[in-house]
Amino acid sequence: MLFGQVWSREDKLSLRDRSLITIVSLMSQGLVDSSFQYHLSTAKQNGITRQEIAEILTHAAFYAGWPKAWAAFRMAKEVWDEPHS
The answer to whether residue 85 scores a pLDDT higher than 60 is no
Residues contacting 48, CB < 8 A, separation 6+: 16, 19, 20, 56
Using the predicted structure, report yes or no on whether residue 68 has a pLDDT greater than 60.
Answer: yes
Per-residue pLDDT, 2: 59
Q: How far apart are CA 72 and CA 18, in angstroms?
A: 17
Please give the single-letter amino acid code of residue 43: A
Mean pLDDT, all residues of the chain: 91
Locate the domains of the chain by residue range.
13-81
* pLDDT greater at residue 11 or residue 39: 39
This prediction's pTM: 0.88
Number of neighbours of residue 81 by Cβ within 10 angstroms: 8
Banded pLDDT at 52 (limits 50, 70, 90): very high
Calpha distance 9→5 (Å, rounded): 7
Predicted local distance difference test score (pLDDT) of residue 10: 76
